[in-house]
Amino acid sequence: PLYGLRVNQDPFGLVVYRQRGGQVLLNTTVAPLFFADQFLQISTSLPSHFISGLGEHLTPLVLDTAWTKVTLWNRDMAPMPQVNLYGSHPFYLGMEDDGSAHGVFLLNSNAMDVLLQPSPALTWRTTGGILDFYIFLGPDPKSVVRQYLDVVGFPFMPPYWGLGFHLCRWGYSSTDITRQVVANMTAARMPLDVQWNDLDYADAKRDFTFNKERFKDYPEMVQDFHRRGLRYIMIVDPGISSSGPPGTYRPYDEGLRRGVFIRNATGQPLIGRVWPGPTAFPDFTNPETHEWWHDMVKGFHDQVPFDGMWIDMNEPSNFVEGSQDGCPTNSLEQPPYVPGVFGGRLQAGTICASSQQYLSSHYNLHSLYGLTQAIASHKLWGFGAASAPSPPTLCFPPSQRLLCGLHTPGALCAPSAEVLLFNLFGVPLVGADVCGFAGDTSEELCVRWMQLGAFYPFMRNHNDHGARPQEPYAFSPAAQAAMRNVLRLRYSLLPFLYTLFHRAHSAGDTVARPLFLEFPKDPNTWAVDRQLLWGGGLLVTPVLEAGKTKVSGYFPAGTWYSLAG
């Protein structure tokens, strides 16, 4: 075997080491094991200070082992440091002094803290489940990622059009405005493959409806886009409006009849509050919910022939704490140990932990909610032509809203690291909102972000309502020329990018990868997160700071050629 295992009985502990060379990868004898109801803790030494992973957090590629605490519990939260964000990935990749690599995955969906210590060491502290560890021996980092994906699954294969330029904002408030955006892109000679709408299209912000005044020609608009060679995607949130009179809103009426909603302590649908007002939350661990979801999606697609759904708000997000009626007092709502979640309570920004789902309590399933919705949505591909939406593919962009993008001096740097991390997690179709989401952008920032975003695997410009326009045509002729050039460069590389996605889908490769994946024997590459590679050979060194026209980067040993000639 490639590894050896020593078991210590009293006190209990495990040591996993490489047979060749004896490098210890896991040593849980460094601290006691705690295994109690609602509190499990296990610690291990680490072979080096190089640890990457443990998302989703706003972190560099390499985590700081000086008493960093990473909390995993999905939260709809504008990105900021030291805060649990949209997704949970309890996996880390560690480098060893000789350039070898290993990985550790804890298959556990409960709320948890991971504490990094300078010795170096790491402590897992979770509030339930079991300690189900997978150790990946590599021995190189690319093999570690592939072995991890053998466990969690290879990425899906996006359609070719999904790799083009996407344009969206919250505030395209009518079909007239949305059509004008597309016309403006055409007039500016800007490539565009996919036009999106945020919640503006929906009637009273309810799923599977459209506003019959401002979007009265909505189906015709989408058909017109198709005739022009464009694809169309709109947002769909999981929260289903519950406030209408019986018989007036089919998704809720049918959901009640078929018992698809998450239930509170009294067995009634838990009612929270999101954009439409009072809402119930579908339980995607229930097989019946998958059938109901299919029926709702198909019914809407029969009216509006969309090409993809943007499944959002599925942490799940809730604008009231727990429910409109609060949460009961019990050990799930007030556990003996609460990880460092933003808000200090498990129900902060989401639904009650003790609410009941088909498989278990929400306490155990919370961080799987987005995944289970994505599974139900992906199943729509598999239905026969008589019952399925007609496009050959439905594109579901990453459910986790990676770093919505804030207009700050560091706005470009953080997304670069997170794009690399999500490729390690097996989510290669990823990218921040190009030019940023919250607040007003500047021309320089938007040009630089377009130049960086052209090398995001998933490239979408998205903007908040009320912020200044940031479509490519909204800037000066010089800025437009720079954006047009970099978009054309991206499009010239799409066959290469599509090939990388096929490799990811079929063989577990990464698409946008950190340098250390290709050059693990060069320690200078290990912490580089302001550059990225497409595949093994296209090195991107973007400008990430204001006022700069030159940039420094690291070029590993080899012969490098400029793509620009």
pLDDT of residue 394: 43
Q: Spell out the domain ranges in the chain.
A: 3-152, 164-399, 403-565
Q: How far apart are CA 475 and CA 470, in angstroms?
A: 8
Residues facing residue 539 across a β-bridge: 533
pLDDT of residue 565: 63
pLDDT of residue 400: 41
Q: How far apart are CA 262 and CA 239, in angstroms?
A: 11
Contact of 438 with 78, CB cutoff 8 Å: yes
Superfamily of domain 403-565: Glycosidases (3.20.20.80)
Q: How far is CA 261 from CA 34, 117, 256, 285, 424, in A?
A: 35, 42, 7, 10, 34
3-state class (DSSP) for residue 339: coil
Residue 333 annotated as catalytic: no
The CATH class for the domain spanning 3-152 reads mainly beta
Residue 193 annotated as catalytic: no
**Catalytic choice (76, 200, 315, 518):** 315
pLDDT of residue 10: 87
pLDDT of residue 564: 79
3-state class (DSSP) for residue 258: helix
pTM for this predicted structure: 0.94
Q: What is the CATH number of domain 164-399?
A: 3.20.20.80
Per-residue pLDDT of the chain (565 residues; tens, 9 = 90+): 899 999 999 889 999 999 999 999 999 999 999 999 999 999 999 999 999 999 999 999 999 999 999 999 999 998 889 999 999 999 999 999 999 999 999 999 999 999 999 999 999 999 999 999 999 999 999 999 999 999 999 999 999 999 999 999 999 999 999 999 999 999 999 999 999 999 999 999 999 999 999 999 999 999 999 999 999 999 999 999 999 999 999 999 999 999 999 999 999 999 999 999 999 999 999 999 999 999 999 999 999 999 999 999 999 999 999 999 999 999 999 999 999 999 999 999 999 999 999 999 999 999 999 999 999 999 987 543 333 333 333 444 444 443 334 455 456 666 689 999 999 999 999 999 999 999 999 999 999 999 999 999 999 999 999 999 999 999 999 999 999 999 999 999 999 999 999 999 999 999 999 999 999 999 999 999 999 999 999 999 999 999 999 999 999 999 999 997 6
pLDDT of residue 382: 57
- What does the angle CA 273 – CA 276 – CA 280 come to, to the nearest 5 degrees? 50
**Catalytic choice (56, 237, 312, 418):** 312
One fold for both 3-152 and 403-565? no
Q: How far apart are CA 329 and CA 349, in angstroms?
A: 18
- In terms of Cβ atoms closer than 10 Å to its own Cβ (0-12, 13-18, 19+), residue 121 is middle
